[in-house]
Amino acid sequence: MPAAENILKGHCPECGAGKNGDVVAAYKHKWEDDDHPIWGQIDFRILKCRGCDTVYVQRAEVFSENVDYYYDAAGNEQQQYVVDYSYWPSPLKRARPSWLNELFIIDASLHSILTEVYAGLDGDLAILSATGMRTAFDRATDLLGIDPAKTFQEKMDDLFVAGKVGKAEKDTLAVLADAGSAAVHRAWKPQPKQLATMMDIVESFFHRNFILHDQVDKLKPQIPGKPKRRPAEGDA
């Protein structure tokens, strides 16, 4: 294989889309229907990202009936086969927050639940991701000292009294709970933008109560105190 064909653009799990990768290995699968004039081809390639050395698999599929038609500059109709790309591991649909691993120290179960939620988002598992967010929130309230036997509304009232949430956040979290319940009990499948909003709510709540609170406690003793006022002449 010529050197130029050893480099392809792919979606690196770490660096993102459109990144150059070296083709480490490749396999081509072709098929034709015995009774109809249709055919297909799947190219499997193992790529190694040239930016971060991450190794991943690219699957490029072409089907003879999946064609795009267009007109060239001379007005002539042209056609080209549509290539359907997929990758493993799946590209990240949502960047992980920088503080995610800090949750493992705070509570391994909470970290595990949230990690599975991100995996669900990457795999386009909308219903499972939505229910996982609600599960993560319930675990978080346990860690904040809220009785797990209480109803959601009672939990929110206790969080508000304890100063863990404000009035606006209390209303926002109620929306998250409703969304999670709709996914669990009514098989509601949130759209990507809706899932992104729900995850914004989860991350904001977790960061403020588990990460930022600890960082503020560490910051307080590091702040220099105000200089003492020197007494003016004539002060008693």
Per-residue confidence band for 196, with pLDDT thresholds at 50, 70 and 90: very high
pTM over 0.85: no
Q: What percent of the chain has pLDDT above 90?
A: 56
Kind plus residue range of the DSSP H or E element containing 29:
strand 16-32
d(CA 202, CA 113): 12
Give the pLDDT confidence of 8-18 residue by residue, as tens digits: 999 998 888 89
On average, the pLDDT of the chain sits at 88
Whether residue 153 has pLDDT greater than 60:
yes
In the predicted model, is pLDDT for residue 2 greater than 80?
A: no
Between residues 74 and 58, which one has the greater pLDDT?
A: 58
Q: Quick one: which of 161, 232, 170 has its CA closest to 205?
A: 170
In this predicted model, what pLDDT tens digit does every residue of 83-140 receive, in sequence order? 999 998 888 888 899 999 999 999 999 999 999 999 999 888 999 999 999 999 999 9
Whether the Cβ atoms of residue 48 and residue 29 lie closer than 8 Å to each other = no
Please give the Cα distance from 2 to 156 (Å, whole number). Answer: 63
Q: What's the CA gap between 179 and 190, in Å, rounded? A: 8
CA separation for the pair 173, 209 (Å, rounded): 14
119's tokens: 């995996």
Torsion angle in degrees (nearest 10) through CA of 104, 106, 109, 112: -30
Structure confidence by residue, pLDDT tens digits, 6-42:
999 999 988 888 999 999 999 999 999 998 899 999 9
Task: Kindly indicate the confidence band of residue 169, based on its pLDDT and cuts at 50, 70 and 90.
Answer: confident
